[in-house]
Amino acid sequence: MRFYDPLLYPFAVLYQGATGFRNKLFDIGTKKSTVFTVPVVVVGNLSMGGTGKTPMVEYLIRTFQHQVSLGVISRGYRRKSMGFVLADESTAVEELGDESYQIFQKYGDHISVAVGESRALAIPMLLAERTSTNLILLDDAFQHRYVKGDFSILLTTYQKPFFRDRILPLGTLRENASGAQRADAIIVTKCPPKIREVTKNDYSAQIRKFCRKEIPVLFSGIKYGTPVPVVPNGKELKNSVIVVTGIASNEAMLDWVGQQYKVLEVLSYPDHHRYSVMDVEKIIGTYRKFAYDHPSIITTEKDAVKLKADLFLPYWSEIPIFALPIAVDLSKEDEEVIESMIQKVIQEKKYSREE
């Protein structure tokens, strides 16, 4: 217990009361949830950030993008635009937010990507412009109950599972852990390699105290790909690196990079950081400080979409900067569970529309 927790306790009680009352209004129907004819899959969490929502959304995109006409909608956290924005070739990262822009950059040739504060309004607007859409993924929408999802995936990390967390501001939970009752599948993310079965059983038992007994509890790790150039300047990736991150938690990335390369320095910024010229000049200054090592810069995909903005391109003309791809690592059995459950939802929605 932290020495200042007693001061936070009254605020946690008030916060839990407010969120619990809101959820109760949805449960009894006083607040309405919109149901759409197109199947809606929700990806979210109970805690504040850092559970791996974007890699999970990208996993679902890769799984279903060639089977259905797919649309992805998020709030567009920390974007500079307002209202509904449907991404196209002219859309800038500031209009979508870093994570949505990252998804559009990687998959925009095959799917629709949009942002909107109200997902209940954004969904019909997307459907009006992309009439062939027949599956929608809602990113970070577990608490957005104005939309009734057909399948909800709840993520929680191995390092800080929701059953060991506390409500804001004592902890990082956005709502009481009992909110897990709304999940149709729960995935423990960022698991270490070769997690033991006894550990899985323990986590599953703790989680099942809060969720419906019939839903699956699955486990995923992290896998990293080969770093790719942020800008095409012909520079090669060196063994010595400077790591630049602006994410909620960079421990797993630093652990992996440290095993593959000699890490000279780490520049850590807050999650969703908006880079300035001063930030980039600091990065360049750090690079020059270690020039004798001929280092490269490694950053995340989320940071790369901001660092390659036109304003910063002149800085990278002679600097080797690379983005490290990240993906969820599910077992074949767990992949089949998720895919079959979502396929079932798609088919059920299709049959209900035809009736």
Domains of the chain: 5-68+134-222+330-354 (3.40.50), 228-324 (3.40.50.2300)
Residue 22 backbone phi and psi in degrees, to 5: -60, -45
Distance CA 183, CA 149 (A): 10
- In this prediction, residue 270 carries a pLDDT of 93
In terms of Cα–Cα distance, which of 259, 262, 254 is closest to 237? 262
Q: For 71-90, write each residue's pLDDT tens digit.
A: 999 999 889 999 999 999 99
Pairing type for strands 217-224 and 326-330 reads antiparallel
What sign for the dihedral angle of Cα 114, 116, 122, 123?
positive
Instruction: Give the model's pLDDT for residue 214.
Output: 94
Instruction: For tokens 């929605």, name the residue.
Output: 349
* Residue range 180-206, pLDDT digits in tens: 999 999 999 999 988 999 999 999 999
Contact 92, 134 (CB under 8 A): no
Q: Return phi, psi of residue 169, to 5°.
A: -90, 5
Is the separation of the CB atoms in 85 and 76 below 8 Å?
yes
Query: What sections of 208-321 are H helices per DSSP?
Result: 251-260, 277-289, 301-307
> Model confidence over 25-34: pLDDT tens digits?
999 999 999 9
- Residue 74 is predicted with a pLDDT of 96
Q: What pLDDT is attached to residue 148?
A: 95
Q: At 74, which helix (H) or strand (E)?
A: strand 70-74
Q: In what helix (H) or strand (E) does residue 114 lie, and over which residues does it extend?
A: strand 112-115
Give the C-alpha separation, 3 to 142, whole Å. 32
Mean local confidence (pLDDT), 138-165: 96
Tokens at 229, concatenated: 């150039």
pLDDT at residue number 353: 67
Helix (H) or strand (E) holding 112: strand 112-115
Burial class (CB in 10 A: 0-12, 13-18, 19+), 206: middle
How many Cβ atoms from other residues are within 10 Å of residue 24's Cβ?
A: 11
What does the chain come to in residues? 355
In the three-class reduction of DSSP (H, G, I as helix; E, B as strand; rest coil), residue 94 is classed as helix
Residue 354 has pLDDT above 70, yes or no: no
pLDDT tens digits, residue range 107-151? 999 999 999 999 999 999 999 999 999 999 999 999 999 999 999
Listed in sequence order, the DSSP H helices in the chain are 5-28, 53-64, 93-96, 98-107, 119-129, 197-207, 251-260, 277-289, 301-307, 332-354
Q: Is the pLDDT of residue 265 over 70?
A: yes
Q: Average of pLDDT values for 235-254?
A: 93
The dihedral formed by the CA atoms of 199, 166, 337 and 98, expressed in degrees to the nearest 10: -120
Confirm if 72 and 85 have CB atoms less than 8 A apart: no
244 pLDDT higher than 80: yes
Q: Burial code of 221-238, b = ≥16 C-beta within 10 A, e = fewer?
A: bbeeeebebbbeeebebe
Select from 290, 288, 253 the least CA-distant residue to 268: 253
Instruction: Give the Å distances, CA to CA, from 321 to 225, 290, 292.
Output: 15, 14, 17
Q: Is the pTM of this model over 0.85?
A: yes
